[in-house]
């Protein structure tokens, strides 16, 4: 009975590459939410203007486009900011230590839903949705993919995704990109970085599936030989 309980908590199938990619993407998304929470809390104990808020107040902005828009159901900037920072750290801890739990990805989805509802940001939603869809396969057999991606490229594509996301956040806050000064040009780069991150994340997962499938086939073959 104890063995059954352990297997219920920790599934026997573990796609390690898919899990690692989930952790990397989830952590950089959580850090971007933490930044939202920090600026929101710096606005102090004052009422929000509505459900849609500007995380960075007018007097704290580094450039005209640096408002970091968000959605919140909490009518107070300080409380919103504190909740976002707490949830951001909770997501990171969950990703690092509890993702392999049988309910790991479901709770991860719940945490991202909560943080989005209390001011964690809006722009990352397409990437979060993609992350949750792919992460649901961490403890499931990887079937033959219709779209086959080389199993060796995922470390590079996840690196590119991280870089483009960092560039996006840097521009969103400080409005700086070498050789570019115009508002519209900077916003175009932000959109390009968002789209690039989304594409690189999905390619990384598809490549990770190929890697996990190879690893699982090797594991099955070695067990059958024994």
pLDDT in tens, 93-103: 999 999 988 88
d(CA 195, CA 59): 30
**Residue 142, pLDDT score:** 80
Burial call 93-119: b when 16+ CB within 10 Å, e when fewer: ebbeeebebeebbeebbebbeebbbbb
DSSP alpha helices (H): ranges in the chain? 2-9, 16-42, 77-97, 104-117, 125-135, 154-174, 183-225
* DSSP one-letter code for 120: S
Cα–chain-centroid distance for residue 130? Answer: 9
Q: What pLDDT does 225 receive?
A: 55
Q: Are 6 and 36 in contact (CB under 8 A)?
A: no
Q: Which residue has the tokens 């996301």?
A: 165
pLDDT of residue 12: 54
Give the bridge partners for 52, in sequence order. Answer: 71
Nearest-angstrom CA–CA distance, 216 and 25: 23
Task: Tokens for 224, please give them.
Answer: 């059958």
Residue 132, domain extent: 2-225
Supply the pLDDT for residue 4: 44
* pTM exceeding the 0.85 threshold for the entire prediction: yes
Give the chain's domain count: 1
Pairing verdict, β 69-71 and 52-54: antiparallel
Strand partners, 180: 177
Residue 156: predicted pLDDT: 98
Cα–Cα distance for residue pair 36/64, rounded to 1 Å: 17
Assign 8 a pLDDT band (cuts: 50, 70, 90): very low
82 — pLDDT class (breaks 50, 70, 90): very high
Query: What confidence score (pLDDT) does residue 14 get?
Result: 82
Taking alpha carbons only, the member of 88, 41, 70, 56 closest to residue 174 is: 56
pLDDT at 187: 96
């Amino acid at each position: 009975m104890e063995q059954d309980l352990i297997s219920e908590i920790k599934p026997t199938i573990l796609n390690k590459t898919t899990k690692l990619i989930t952790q990397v993407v989830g952590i950089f998304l959580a850090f971007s939410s933490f930044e939202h929470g920090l600026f929101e809390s710096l606005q102090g104990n004052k009422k929000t203007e509505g459900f849609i808020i500007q995380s960075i107040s007018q007097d704290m902005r580094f450039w005209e486009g640096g408002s970091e828009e968000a959605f919140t159901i909490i009518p107070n900037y300080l409380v919103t900011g504190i909740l976002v920072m707490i949830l951001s750290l909770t997501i990171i801890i969950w990703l690092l230590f509890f993702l392999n739990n049988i309910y790991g990805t479901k709770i991860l989805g719940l945490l991202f839903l909560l943080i989005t509802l209390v001011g964690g940001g809006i722009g990352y939603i397409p990437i979060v949705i993609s992350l949750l869809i792919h992460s649901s396969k961490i403890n499931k057999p990887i079937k033959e993919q219709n779209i086959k991606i080389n199993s060796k490229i995922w470390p590079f594509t996840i690196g590119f995704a991280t870089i483009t996301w960092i560039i996006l956040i840097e521009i969103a806050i400080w409005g700086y990109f070498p050789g570019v000064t115009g508002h519209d040009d900077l916003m175009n780069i932000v959109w390009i970085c968002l789209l690039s991150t989304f594409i690189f994340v999905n390619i990384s997962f598809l490549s990770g599936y190929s890697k996990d499938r190879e690893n699982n086939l090797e594991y099955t073959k070695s067990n059958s030989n024994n």
